[in-house]
Amino acid sequence: MTNDDAPVGRLLSRREAVAILGATSAVWLVGGGILPRRANARPHGLSCIARPEQMEGPYFVDEKLNRTDIRSDPSNGRMKAGAPLALTMLVSRVAANECRPIPGAQVDLWQCDAGGIYSDVQDPQFNTVGQKYLRGFQTTDARGAVRFLTVYPGWYPGRTVHLHFKIRTDPKAQRGYDFTSQLYFDDALTDRVHASEPYVSRGKRDARNRDDEIFRRGGDQLMLDVTQSGGTYSASFAIGLQMP
């Protein structure tokens, strides 16, 4: 763990984030599908914030699945049901009071499905070994950006709704720099999303942000600012890494 609890710079407002990222969190409807829009703007004058690391949890699997759309299971092509969520992450290095984009970093994203179940793990409550839905990685471009298309996550006992991510600057090195944390959602938004299928059949969740011990250790700095267009949700998240 690194001491990343103290903010560096300032947190971007929604308007600033959209302007800097070139509205990357917006989505296109292409051929009946939903794809994240690529950025056209360079992040000049970016202000960023160092975020706290949080625990990896028991369900990380290094699947080496290089893909933007992580909703499907590669073994059978089936898509996980749920409200589409387009996520753009912008990864920078905090150095000399500046935020410098980090190109070529590997960013892994993984999460549970609408029923609260992770793929490719054996748990006392389920066994999904061999399935690989809602997992994947992307490599940051010259602007430090990666884009994922996933679904709004469900819940499981004891945890608030969240996503997991891991950033590795050199994933092939035994001692390369890595940063692992989680992303969270506003409870009121989650209540609205989970009031519809396929989430509503799961029943009422038993933990909100304030109830989650992990969230209480810096989760307020890991909140996603989510917007909605039709039935699709989108979010941008800028993170500054304090690397050695």
Report if residue 23 sits inside a domain.
yes
Report if residue 171 sits inside a domain.
yes
Task: Give the model's pLDDT for residue 12.
Answer: 37
Q: What's the half-sphere exposure (Cβ side, CA atoms, 13 Å) at 167?
A: 27
Bridge partners (DSSP) listed for residue 240: 50, 92
Task: Give the model's pLDDT for residue 13.
Answer: 38
Task: Give the model's pLDDT for residue 175.
Answer: 73
Report if residue 2 sits inside a domain.
no
Task: Give the model's pLDDT for residue 25.
Answer: 37
Report how many domains make up the chain.
Answer: 1
Report if residue 31 sits inside a domain.
yes
Task: Give the model's pLDDT for residue 194.
Answer: 98
SS (H, E, C) the chain: CCCCCCCCCCCCCHHHHHHHHCCCCCEEEECCEEEECCCCCCCCCCCCCECCCCCCCCCCCCCCCECCECCECCCCCCECCCCEEEEEEEEEEEECCEEEECCCCEEEEECCCCCCCCCCCEECCEECCCCCCCEEEEECCCCCEEEEEEECCCCCCCCCCEEEEEEECCCCCCCCCEEEEEEECCHHHHHHHCCCCCCHHHCCCCCCHHHCCCCCCCHHHCECEEEEECCEEEEEEEEEECCC
Report if residue 131 sits inside a domain.
yes
Report if residue 121 sits inside a domain.
yes
Quote the pTM value: 0.82
Q: What is the pLDDT of residues 176-225, one digit of tens each?
A: 799 999 999 999 999 999 999 999 999 999 999 999 999 999 999 999 99
List the domain range (segments joined by +) for residue 165.
14-241
Task: Give the model's pLDDT for residue 96.
Answer: 78
Report if residue 3 sits inside a domain.
no
| Segments of the chain with pLDDT less than 50 | 1-46
Report if residue 175 sits inside a domain.
yes
Task: Give the model's pLDDT for residue 106.
Answer: 97
How far is it, in rounded angstroms, from Cα 80 to Cα 124? 22
Task: Give the model's pLDDT for residue 66.
Answer: 98
Task: Give the model's pLDDT for residue 11.
Answer: 34
Question: Tell me, what CATH number does 185's domain have?
Answer: 2.60.130.10
